[in-house]
Chains A and B, each alone.
Chain A
Amino acid sequence: MAKKNELISAENNITRKDFRGVFWRSFTLLGSFNYERMEGLGFLFAIMPVLRKIYKGDDEALKASMHRHIAAFNMTVAPSPFVMGTTIAMEEKAKKDKSFDVSSINAIKVALMGPLSGIGDTFFWGIIRILACALAVGFAKEGNVIAPFVLLLVFNIPNFLTRWITLFLGYEKGSSLLSDMQSSGKMQLFTHCAGIIGAMSMGCMIAMWISISCPLQFTLAGSEIVIQEYLDQILPKILPLAFTLGIFSFIKKNCKVQKIIAGIVVIGFVLGILGLISL
């Protein structure tokens, strides 16, 4: 830590303290989530103090820029400060250079949403969360009180670091970093490699964490038939795999998640009563 409140942008008097503000405000991104603008208001809330500094004394430009950032926005929350950093850098450019095409700001935001969400979801939901929960379950089963703290630390250390680091990374490198990575093909390679980790973990998790079994058994000609044993001979964990892939295919067909949940509730209930599946 050098100076407590060093200047980040001398031109607009933006300091490290302002960035700390954006960092903390980024935690509330989902606070006013809705189906129309999604995280729009949250995004505006996060960067509003900085926008006010940039457009000090130019109310019309400030209004225009605020309208830009309440627009629909939606992405995985952890790497969202990257986009906030990039946006601040572009707004500064727009203020300095009157011929700057402001519509490119939202275009870049939209372009960042997809790839960052893809990587963010893979890492935070697909890998870090599962790892944190898996470790914690081991402790919790024994009634060990450190379980919840293990979970929170394992998840939140990457969560906080990602936010803090990507905020500055987005501000300093921002759109150029992404376009460089995209044009050199590194972005695709990186996504592909993250996908490898994700895909392998997914396969493993489905086998380990979903327990669906068939309790059905009956006696036929004096010998006891246990259906689950036959299923295990075909492939262990075949039911979790089959149900997951079945639901996956419905999602692929753009079936609404609410409908899928309703379907699961009905089908699960009936199959459960019939004694065909259980935990």
Chain B
Amino acid sequence: MHSSFTRLQNVFGFFTTVAFVLGAFIAATDLGAPRTPSGIIKTDNVQVVKGRPHYYSPKKEEYAIIRFSLEADLSSLFTWNTKQLFVYVTADWTGPDNANNSAVIWDSIITNPSADHLQNLGPIAMKKLKKSAEGKSIAPERGLLKLKNQKPKYQITHPSGKIAETPDVTLRLHYNVQPWVGLLTWNMDKPFGVWQAMSGGVSDYFTLPALKSKDSKAKDAKDKAGAKSKTKSKKP
């Protein structure tokens, strides 16, 4: 039957089919884009301090503050279907009974210029970000990271509240590619097709230091003459 309704229905049906096929095709092109991520990560200054999970908490826990340096090349992860790259650094250690522990100490959202307008930024930072890749829709150079003595975004602890003197901790660089359409992908242990596993990206083993005692803290404060020496006791 040829009523205007069936015509409308056909047009809509055709539109959705085309849209889905196109989406599937775009998602599939990811598999053909080689990925060669690499990174070098090492710890700088590591401290363990006492703090409270939140302001009113009577409980005191130990928090590790791990400063680190990172040099990474994730530029190959930026393609036309990359909406954003979520880069994060975890501290991993094995506790008693072989319990694996893992906690993010730093992360960053790196958008492709096509997704810059979606970022949650103030007007000035947004202007700067947009200007940094003017006229480009793909910006692989944003995948080149160089951090020196970077302060962690999150101070980490263990549910037991004890974390000082933990042995064999490693820092590990991870990424998560979030596409405009298709599958989300993470860094892999093994290569897959034209995607290579991350080369490097793991720090040497290190041991968390003993708790910073009150005396050493006071001494520190004196050394720095009151300049930003107070340790934050806020929940990370």
The yes or no verdict on A and B being binding partners is no
Residues of A that sit less than 8 Å from B by CB: none
